[in-house]
Copies of this chain bind each other. A is one copy, B any other.
Amino acid sequence: MKDESVSAPRRSRRGSGAVTLHDVARLAGVAPITASRALNQPGQVSAEVLQRVSEAVAATGYVRNHQAGGLASARSRLVAALVPTVAGPMFASTVQALSDALAAEGYQLLLGQSGYGDSREDALLEAIIGRRPDGIVLTGTGHSALARQRLRAARIPVVETWDLGDEPIDMLVGFSHEAVGRAVAGFLHDRGYRRLAMLAGDDPRSMRRAEAFAAQAALLGLPTVPVLQVAAPTTLRSGRDGLTALLRSQPDCEAVFCSSDLLALGVITEAQARGLAVPRQLAVVGFGDQDFAADLHPALSTVRIDSQAMARQAVRFIVDRADGHEVSGQSVDIGFSIVGRQST
């Protein structure tokens, strides 16, 4: 035991009162830096020191201060994700997958909701950059010039998701919405449907699926495809209302492609309420392949996006970069698949 009594000049500033690494180090009889190593690089420290530090941590109930550590090391072990909303099933599963993948790597998730009117994204982004996260995961590629510039200036690894594009801010993992639209048109055409319609949220990505869907239908020689827009985020209610509106203008419609599974559920629900048989009188295709899609009655044909894989890839990009692997300009197309079920 060393003599701990030192002259205690009145501290000009009160600390938080919490146990610090210095307290642990003193109790273990080592220098603070050694205690730090025992916790962060246990391999570089003798077994005996490791033991003493562990005991001191247990005895004091020490919990590391990541804020201080991050400031000193310039690694926050924090990753931010910006999604339009977490209320619908679409991005909730992405956020879940991100959170899980990050936790497995020792990172934590800072969540921001940008909404669908993009006005909030810039402000959110500034707040997020202020945290100095080790990475930022963005939804989509449609970011303001200001946002792109700030992100580049901040030199924080950025992964854009849920889309492809020629000029990613940094890294990218997504799929082509145009390809989805074309593939679904082809899918319905192959199954003999002729009078197609589209029910789409008014967000940019849904609109691009809609345009490609309509264009491809035209290429295939099908009648002009009416595209009905509903407000994003899409809901079961907007699916019901959407079908009602659609049937008014296109009573002979044979198949509807919906920009989300929730919208598709709304369409199926409304069809049932009207006594319209799905798929006999009306075929329905969703988007997202949420958990519930396969278990609906009739089971929903939809476009499967592997959002888990997308999230894992995004995390891999960021963690690799944090570990010093300087691979920039990475871009991955995770693709999609059409899952044909009973609704078509």
Binding site for B on A (CB under 8 A): 16-18, 61, 63-68, 70-71, 74, 76, 78, 85-89, 92-93, 95-96, 99-100, 103, 106, 108-113, 124, 126-132, 149-150, 153-155, 235-237, 240, 262, 265-266, 269-270, 272-273, 291-292, 294-297
Contact = CB atoms under 8 A, between A and B. Distances in A.
Contact of A113 (B17, B100, B113, B236): B100
For the residues of A in contact with B, the DSSP-based class is helix
A338 B106 CA distance: 42
Nearest to A125: B63
B67 A71 contact: yes
A215 to B, nearest CB: 32
Contact of A17 (B63, B155, B296): B155
Contacts of A89: 87, 89, 92
A311 to B, nearest CB: 12
Given A236-B296, A295-B237, A93 B103 contact: no
A200 to B, nearest CB: 19
Given A71-B67, A108-B110, A113-B96, A266 B295 contact: yes
14 contacts: A18-B154, A63-B129, A65-B71, A65-B132, A86-B99, A87-B93, A103-B113, A103-B124, A108-B128, A109-B110, A236-B296, A262-B292, A265-B292, A266-B295
Nearest to A132: B67
A45 to B, nearest CB: 20
Nearest to A115: B100
A149 B58 CA distance: 13
A109 B112 CA distance: 7
- Which of A17, A78, A108, A113 has its CB near the most chain B CB atoms (within 10 A)? A108
B92 A61 contact: no
A111 B95 contact: yes
Contacts of A296: 236, 269
Contacts of A88: 92
B127 A99 contact: no
A129 B266 CA distance: 42
Contacts of A68: 71
A235 B295 contact: yes
Contacts of A16: 74, 132
